[in-house]
């Protein structure tokens, strides 16, 4: 916890390259053989994105214990590019190796990287537990609805440290609350239960970039190690961190390195390329009759699990005079919309990755009430691509 951080940071270690190569090969083989592989991540996986950790030499809690304030440059979590480690985990999930991801991080990079929070299909299955919350996610305590924002959705804490209200309202009319877990607060029940469930199923738990000192989250990988002590050869606990952790002696493979250095080698030995980061957005466009009998065109950003996502700064329907700058984005074209009508839109984004405005055309078909568009932005080229999801 923050108040246990020392003014003298823990020493960092780095494996000799030949040892790192050997351990990467052993880990790659364990991943190949694993039936239920899970990962547990901490702040160390985001440091190469420019986001400081907590207990490192320049960590947030270390500086606090030293009575210092940060003077060097940092990267906003909203502008940070997911790291090689983030993208390696995405690809391991896509290929069916990684069955579940448990994270202590609040920076939102896992969801932005492309990790699926929920598997699509008739039998939906959770894939991600953000145990300490997500600075881009807020929720309604009354109806349980979640919202993902392309801005920091953090409480104002006007009345107390326990006041997580963000100042926005849910569609049901009740207050929205941030999802951040502060010290002394209980972890969210469902993500914690799911993390424990997968820890019981796993035969391989990989810890990346965590000091494993914050409870009760650190009890998840510890439970894996303790289960091994009762069952011969299974399961395996692998830890990669620059500093020592309390669970080092319980691990089967202990790697002292930056997580990117390890995962680059592991992916190479698995012969799996690490994908570049692509910012993916999903937009639903619906044409319907509202409660007053008027034709209404709705534009809504959503995540892969259907959670509403706020990433549009403004929306313009070119045949409509008004530029809409606040959600919900709803247009009521005069005379309605007939089948075959082409609706030309201009989207303006929050711009954290310098996304340019996007112009595209939606052709209305009254046999399809809702159309889903997949928007992909490559920060390296500054270009958008658009595809219509025919499964919807």
Known catalytic residues?
Answer: 132
Task: Consult the annotation and say whether 14 binds a ligand.
Answer: no
Strand partners, 139: 146, 177
- 205 marked as part of a ligand binding site: no
In the 3-class helix/strand/coil scheme, how is the chain assigned residue by residue? Answer: CHHHCCCCCCCCCCCCHHHHHHHHHHHHHHHHHCCCEEEEECHHHCHHHCCCCCCCCCCHHHHHHCCCCCCCCCCCCCCCCCCHHHHHHHHHHHCCCEEEEEECCCCCHHHHHCCCCECCCCCCCECEEECCCCCCEEEECCCCCEEEECCCCCCCCCCCCCCCEEEEECCCCCEEEECCCCCCCCCCHHHHHHHHHHHHHCCEEEEECCCCCCCCCCHHHHHHHHHHCCCCCCCEEEEECCCCCCCHHHCCEEECCCHHHHHHHHHHHHCCCCCCCCEEEEEEEEEEECCCCCEEEEEEEECCCCCEEECEEEEEECCCCCEECCCCEEECCCCCCCCCCEEEEEEEECCCCCCCCEEEEEECCCCCCEEEEEEEEECCCCEEEEEECCCC
Is 119 annotated in a binding site? The answer is: no
- Annotation-wise, does 354 bind a ligand? no
Closest CA to 371 of 298, 310, 307, 314: 298
Q: Which residues are annotated as a binding site for Zn(2+)?
A: 140, 143, 170, 172
């Amino acid at each position: 916890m923050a108040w246990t951080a020392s003014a003298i940071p823990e020493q960092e270690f780095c494996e000799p390259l030949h040892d790192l190569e050997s351990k990467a090969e052993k880990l790659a083989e364990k991943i190949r053989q694993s039936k239920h592989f899970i990962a547990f991540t901490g702040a160390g996986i985001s440091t190469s994105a420019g986001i400081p950790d907590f207990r490192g030499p320049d960590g947030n809690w270390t500086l606090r214990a030293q009575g210092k304030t940060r003077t060097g440059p940092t990267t906003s979590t909203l502008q940070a590019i997911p790291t090689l480690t983030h993208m390696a985990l995405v690809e391991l999930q896509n290929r069916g190796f990684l069955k579940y991801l448990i994270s202590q991080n609040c920076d939102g990079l896992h969801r932005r990287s492309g990790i699926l929070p929920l598997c699509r299909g008739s039998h939906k299955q959770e894939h991600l537990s953000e145990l300490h919350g997500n600075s881009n996610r807020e929720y309604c305590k009354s109806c349980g609805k979640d919202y993902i924002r392309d801005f920091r959705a953090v409480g104002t804490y006007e009345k107390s440290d326990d006041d997580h209200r963000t100042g926005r309202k849910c569609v049901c009319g009740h207050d929205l609350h941030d999802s951040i877990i502060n010290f002394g607060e209980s972890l969210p029940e469902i993500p914690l239960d799911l993390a424990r469930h997968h820890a019981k199923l796993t035969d391989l738990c990989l810890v990346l970039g965590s000091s494993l000192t914050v409870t009760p989250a650190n009890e998840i990988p510890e439970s894996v190690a303790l289960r091994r002590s009762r069952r011969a050869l299974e399961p395996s606990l692998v830890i990669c961190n620059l500093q020592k952790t309390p669970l080092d002696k319980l691990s089967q493979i202990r790697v002292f390195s930056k997580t990117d250095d390890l995962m680059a080698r592991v992916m190479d030995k698995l012969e799996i390329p690490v994908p570049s980061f692509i910012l993916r957005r999903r937009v639903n466009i619906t044409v319907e009759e509202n409660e007053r009998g008027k034709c209404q065109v709705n534009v809504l950003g959503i995540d892969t699990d259907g959670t509403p996502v706020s990433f549009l700064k403004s929306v313009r329907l070119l045949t409509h005079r008004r530029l809409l700058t606040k959600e919900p984005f709803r247009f009521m074209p005069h005379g309605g919309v007939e089948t075959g009508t082409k609706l030309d839109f201009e989207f303006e984004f929050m711009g954290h990755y310098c996304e340019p405005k996007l112009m595209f055309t939606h052709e209305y078909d009254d046999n399809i009430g809702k159309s889903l568009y997949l928007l992909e932005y490559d920060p390296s080229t500054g270009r958008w691509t658009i595809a219509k999801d025919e499964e919807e």
